[in-house]
Amino acid sequence: MILKILSVAFICLFIARILFARKLKEMGKAADRTINLFLVAIAIFLGLQAIFVYGLS
């Protein structure tokens, strides 16, 4: 269940980052850096989860 929620959050943040790139630059580097770090953290978690689910089956 948490994997599905994180997958949806990753997709939404990625699309929002593309659509609202100008707004993020106006908000400053802190907001941009925070979203980037969150996206990287979710991507690492999803990658590890995929390795454990599909690699160990």
Model confidence pLDDT, tens digit, residues 7-38? 787 788 778 877 877 776 676 777 778 778 88
Contacts of 24 (CB under 8 A, 6+ apart): 17, 31, 32, 35
pLDDT at 53 over 80: yes
What's the mean pLDDT in 34-45? 83
- Which residue is associated with the tokens 């997709």? 11
- Checking 43-52 for CB contacts under 8 A at 24+ apart, the result is 43/10, 45/6, 46/3, 46/6, 46/7, 46/10, 49/3
The pLDDT assigned to 48 comes to 87
**Model pLDDT, residue 33:** 80
Q: How far apart are the first and last CA of the chain?
A: 18
